[in-house]
Chain A
Amino acid sequence: MKEKKKEKRAGSGLTRRQFVKVTGLGVAGLSAPHIFIPRQARGAGKTLKILQWSHFVPRYDQEWFDNYTQAWGKENDVQVTVDHISLAEIGARTAAEVAAGDGHDLIEWISPPAQFEPSVLDLTDVNQEAVKRFGRQHPLAVRSSYNPNTKKFYGFCHGWVIDPGDYRKSLWDKAGKADGPETWEDLITYGGKIKKDQGIQLGIGLSQELDSNMAGRALLWSYDSGVQDENENVIINNERTVEAVEFMARLFKESMTPEVFAWAAVSNNQALLAGKASYILNSISAYRSAQKQVPEIAKDVYCVPALKGPRGTRWSSEHVIYSYIIPTYSKSVDTAKKFLLDLVDNYDQAMYFSELYNSPAFFDAAVKGGDRGYPAVKGAKNLRDLHNTWFDDDPFRIEGEAKGKLAVLKDAEKWSANVGHPGPANPAIGEVFATFVVPNMLANAARGMSAQTAVEQAETLIKAIFDKWRKKGVVGGTS
């Protein structure tokens, strides 16, 4: 199927680009003769254009990444340009650049960019070289950048973000669970009690946004279900999903308010900071914001790992998965590949300047010597050592705050999964994610629809999406 498609593209098939070129030729010729000046004539030397999101932690861009890229450019005689955009614009911008056949050499996604596989370079060589230099890559990173059907690395994943639970210790203490929830059922038992006795709801989004999507998946996986299996067959319609959906309907009734249907990605952070949530499912950025804006709340915020389902399974979705792609139009391929490998080589700084928001995909990468721009960590040989040390004793802890609050995140890679878990990320999973099928399934049940009907409706949508992408040859499985 794939070969046929390629053949068509190379042969008689008219590409969108060709169409635009033909129709736009006359105008372009009339209006802007200067655009035909050969690219090489504009200036000698290598260039590298990078497009990526404005990091949630401003310090990452302002104090590190933008300076790092300039220093890297100077060292390698490359003129580096970094354009930061809002995370919501990454998809549209990438699509526009791919369609135009021009743009940035490296584009960083914060979700798996599987749908762009036909228009990006196979980065198998970079991934192999990275494993050779830095050791094993975390499986969730591999599953978020590698298509097992086409055997192609469509991206290079350098890092990811943990998605723990953040809870208010004082509220949970009064309810009789000082160490916070351990299971999903605890959210009803104790979260419900907190809402009833202390008037503070908990906040797990049931809305058409990013965090609700991740929370929904964490629930399904912890209930031993999911959207697809490891071979990319759709499995959502089963009794364990129904059980999970029924649970969410109960959870909403006992512990939440209709605000969760209206939430945007930032809403759970705001609720926590406003003292209006006893528990949220979010990265540590919510806690970091509290440290800066409402220290009293921050001192009361603690983290818990993924919650266990009824059979003891526990999974959490990665909150962000970083994946760079190199579009096929790039003329700085080798430079871009070198940049990626050097980025991993300097990932200790990425971790530190993101205030531990970023976790490495290559835990075994060695820490470079010399002044690294942060207080040296004695005995830290690799990123794993740094990760453990910093989570044991948070370098960004504020005055008067308890030590070791983030220690529960040290083994986060054991309970964190990629969006397509237990299978790989793929374009079908991406479209299911982008069209909010899972949070809407849960929201439908919370709003009164029977769990079975909600699951059946979701299955209809998901199967249509999978069938479509399967026909294009980029998704495996048969059902």
Chain B
Amino acid sequence: MAPEQKKQPHGPFRFRDDPRLLSALMTAPAVIYIALLVGIPFLLAVFISLSDATTGDPSLDYVGISNFRTVIGDPVFRQSLKNTFIFTFASQALVLVMSKILALALMKEFRGKWLVRFLILLPWTAPIALGTIGWLWMFDSIFSPMDWVLRYVGLLGRPGALLGVNSNLYWLGIPGLAMASVTVVHAWRMLPLATVILLAGLTAIPKDILEAAEVDGAGFRQRLFSIIIPLLLPIMSIAVLFGVVFTFTDMTVVYILTRGGPVQSTQVLASWAFFKGIEGGDLAQGAAIALFLFPVLAGVATLMLRLARRTEVN
């Protein structure tokens, strides 16, 4: 019997039998999407930062790295850079701890669990600007409800009160308090996403491992630190990566709550790039400021993805 001759693919659908062509075709939408929405704007930002473009004259006349030199010499930029790191790491530390606690709590069965889950997710589903305006009212210099509660319980606004004799704490008017406020609001906003990610990770941990550990006499702390956290590390890395990237590039919370004040004490790179580049008209310097984010974000992303991969392999 003569060997059956292999049928060569032909016609418009021949790519179906060519794995290389098929894979290229399947990934093409993602590649095009990234190239258009990330690649081109990124390259544009690089070109602008090397030019003398302004909002009124966006032509790209090459000026070398002079914008970067000017930006580095600007004390407000240096303050913003420092603030960006504080804002990012403080809020992410808060998010990490709180999301872990929340995720563990939500693993338990209790009455009204769906309502708690819904409430926890709410900050993520509501528009960030809207939520932050709500917080702006909470931190109001005169009408802050938090101040009202503190006054009511005697912690504020009377002689000898723990938090001072002033009738208000001026949350957004004192540099340290203002930074704490923007950090907490950002953590509040990021918490649902991290919680959901960790919750997904927790549900994926095989129950028999935990049960076996329990049978062997491992207590909660041992199970948490020797089993749960190590197994959650890859997914925690993803949560942290998302959190760091979102926080590093966010200006909404700062812009709405403080506009970088008081005296630039909460200014972050993203908001400073906006004030300098768009409001101030110096597009090139604004782009240079924004691009300072890139090496940090690229470094964080690489680190986190490597960590996640290594943990997965182990």
A contacts, CB < 8 Å to B: 5, 8-9, 13-17, 19-20, 23-24, 27, 91-92, 94-95, 98-99, 115-120, 206-209, 257-264, 267, 270-271, 274, 276, 427, 430-431, 434-436, 440, 443-444, 447, 457, 460-461, 464-465, 468, 472
List 20 A-B pairs, Cβ < 8 Å.
A9-B59, A27-B32, A98-B55, A99-B55, A99-B58, A115-B281, A116-B55, A117-B56, A119-B57, A119-B58, A207-B262, A208-B261, A257-B166, A262-B139, A274-B142, A427-B281, A430-B281, A431-B280, A443-B262, A465-B280
**Is B76 a contact partner of A98 (Cβ separation < 8 A)?**
no
**Is B170 a contact partner of A258 (Cβ separation < 8 A)?**
yes
Q: Closest approach, in angstroms, between the C-beta of B182 and any C-beta of chain A?
A: 12
**Is A262 a contact partner of B57 (Cβ separation < 8 A)?**
no
- What residues of chain B lie closer than 8 Å to A468, measured between beta carbons? 70, 282
Docked complex Cα distance between A457 and B259 (Å) = 20
Interface-side segment among B20-28, B103-111, B171-179: B171-179
Taking residues whose C-beta sits less than 8 angstroms from the other chain, chain B's interface range is 35 or more
- What residues of chain B lie closer than 8 Å to A14, measured between beta carbons? 59-60
- Which 4 A/B pairs are nearest by Cβ-Cβ distance? A115-B281, A259-B141, A262-B173, A262-B172
- What residues of chain B lie closer than 8 Å to A262, measured between beta carbons? 139, 141, 170-173, 178, 258, 261-262
Q: How many A-B residue pairs have CB under 8 A?
A: 162
- What residues of chain A lie closer than 8 Å to B130, measured between beta carbons? none
Confirm or deny: B260 has a beta carbon within 8 angstroms of a beta carbon on chain A: yes
Further pairs besides A434-B280, A443-B263: 14, Cβ < 8 Å:
A16-B47, A17-B58, A19-B47, A23-B40, A91-B279, A118-B57, A207-B259, A258-B170, A261-B261, A262-B258, A276-B142, A430-B280, A447-B262, A457-B75
Confirm or deny: B48 has a beta carbon within 8 angstroms of a beta carbon on chain A: yes
Of all chain B residues, the one with the shortest Cβ separation from A276 is B142
Q: Closest approach, in angstroms, between the C-beta of B186 and any C-beta of chain A?
A: 18
- What residues of chain B lie closer than 8 Å to A207, measured between beta carbons? 259, 261-262
Contact of A16 among B58, B75, B141, B172 (CB under 8 A): B58
Confirm or deny: B53 has a beta carbon within 8 angstroms of a beta carbon on chain A: yes
Docked complex Cα distance between A435 and B75 (Å) = 13
- What residues of chain A lie closer than 8 Å to B288, measured between beta carbons? none
Contact of A208 among B170, B260, B274, B280 (CB under 8 A): B260
**Is B57 a contact partner of A434 (Cβ separation < 8 A)?**
no
Q: Closest approach, in angstroms, between the C-beta of A454 and any C-beta of chain B?
A: 10
Confirm or deny: B85 has a beta carbon within 8 angstroms of a beta carbon on chain A: no
Confirm or deny: B278 has a beta carbon within 8 angstroms of a beta carbon on chain A: yes
**Is A464 a contact partner of B55 (Cβ separation < 8 A)?**
no
- What residues of chain B lie closer than 8 Å to A440, measured between beta carbons? 261, 263-264
Docked complex Cα distance between A208 and B255 (Å) = 10
**Is A98 a contact partner of B59 (Cβ separation < 8 A)?**
no
Of all chain B residues, the one with the shortest Cβ separation from A327 is B56
**Is B55 a contact partner of A16 (Cβ separation < 8 A)?**
no
**Is A257 a contact partner of B76 (Cβ separation < 8 A)?**
no
**Is A258 a contact partner of B40 (Cβ separation < 8 A)?**
no
- What residues of chain A lie closer than 8 Å to B279, measured between beta carbons? 91-92, 434-435
Docked complex Cα distance between A274 and B168 (Å) = 15
Over the window 204-220 of chain B, the binary record of Cβ atoms lying under 8 Å from chain A Cβ atoms (1 yes, 0 no) is 00000000000000000
Contact of B57 among A5, A91, A436 (CB under 8 A): A5
- What residues of chain B lie closer than 8 Å to A115, measured between beta carbons? 54-56, 280-281
The residue in B40, B57, B70, B76 that gathers the most chain A C-beta atoms within 10 A of its C-beta is B57
Docked complex Cα distance between A27 and B166 (Å) = 60
- What residues of chain A lie closer than 8 Å to B143, measured between beta carbons? 274
Docked complex Cα distance between A443 and B294 (Å) = 32
Given known pairs A95-B55, A98-B55, the reply for A16 and B263 (CB within 8 Å) is: no
- What residues of chain B lie closer than 8 Å to A443, measured between beta carbons? 261-263
Confirm or deny: B119 has a beta carbon within 8 angstroms of a beta carbon on chain A: no
**Is A444 a contact partner of B276 (Cβ separation < 8 A)?**
no
**Is A261 a contact partner of B56 (Cβ separation < 8 A)?**
no
B contacts, CB < 8 Å to A: 32, 36, 40, 43-44, 47-48, 52-61, 70, 73-76, 136, 139, 141-143, 166, 168, 170-174, 178, 258-264, 274-276, 278-283
Docked complex Cα distance between A118 and B52 (Å) = 13
**Is A464 a contact partner of B263 (Cβ separation < 8 A)?**
no
Given known pairs A98-B55, A430-B281, the reply for A16 and B142 (CB within 8 Å) is: no
Docked complex Cα distance between A20 and B141 (Å) = 45
**Is B52 a contact partner of A464 (Cβ separation < 8 A)?**
no
**Is B55 a contact partner of A434 (Cβ separation < 8 A)?**
no
**Is A261 a contact partner of B59 (Cβ separation < 8 A)?**
no
Of all chain A residues, the one with the shortest Cβ separation from B260 is A208
Docked complex Cα distance between A8 and B63 (Å) = 13
Given known pairs A261-B170, A262-B172, the reply for A431 and B61 (CB within 8 Å) is: no
Of all chain B residues, the one with the shortest Cβ separation from A93 is B278
**Is A16 a contact partner of B59 (Cβ separation < 8 A)?**
yes
The residue in B56, B171, B173, B260 that gathers the most chain A C-beta atoms within 10 A of its C-beta is B56
- What residues of chain A lie closer than 8 Å to B275, measured between beta carbons? 434-435
Q: Closest approach, in angstroms, between the C-beta of A468 and any C-beta of chain B?
A: 7
Of all chain A residues, the one with the shortest Cβ separation from B47 is A19
Docked complex Cα distance between A207 and B59 (Å) = 34
Contact of A20 among B44, B53, B171, B278 (CB under 8 A): B44
- What residues of chain B lie closer than 8 Å to A119, measured between beta carbons? 56-58
**Is B259 a contact partner of A208 (Cβ separation < 8 A)?**
yes
- What residues of chain A lie closer than 8 Å to B173, measured between beta carbons? 258-262
**Is B278 a contact partner of A92 (Cβ separation < 8 A)?**
yes
Of all chain A residues, the one with the shortest Cβ separation from B48 is A16
Docked complex Cα distance between A465 and B76 (Å) = 13
- What residues of chain B lie closer than 8 Å to A95, measured between beta carbons? 55, 278, 283
Contact of B58 among A15, A23, A444, A460 (CB under 8 A): A15
The residue in B59, B178, B258, B275 that gathers the most chain A C-beta atoms within 10 A of its C-beta is B59
- What residues of chain A lie closer than 8 Å to B58, measured between beta carbons? 15-17, 98-99, 119
- What residues of chain A lie closer than 8 Å to B282, measured between beta carbons? 431, 468
Docked complex Cα distance between A260 and B278 (Å) = 25
**Is B76 a contact partner of A271 (Cβ separation < 8 A)?**
no
Of all chain B residues, the one with the shortest Cβ separation from A442 is B263
**Is A464 a contact partner of B70 (Cβ separation < 8 A)?**
yes
Q: Closest approach, in angstroms, between the C-beta of A406 and any C-beta of chain B?
A: 27
- What residues of chain B lie closer than 8 Å to A464, measured between beta carbons? 70, 73-74
Docked complex Cα distance between A57 and B275 (Å) = 27
Docked complex Cα distance between A117 and B283 (Å) = 14
**Is A16 a contact partner of B53 (Cβ separation < 8 A)?**
yes
Docked complex Cα distance between A24 and B44 (Å) = 12
**Is B59 a contact partner of A13 (Cβ separation < 8 A)?**
yes
**Is A263 a contact partner of B141 (Cβ separation < 8 A)?**
yes
Q: Closest approach, in angstroms, between the C-beta of B68 and any C-beta of chain A?
A: 14
Docked complex Cα distance between A10 and B143 (Å) = 56
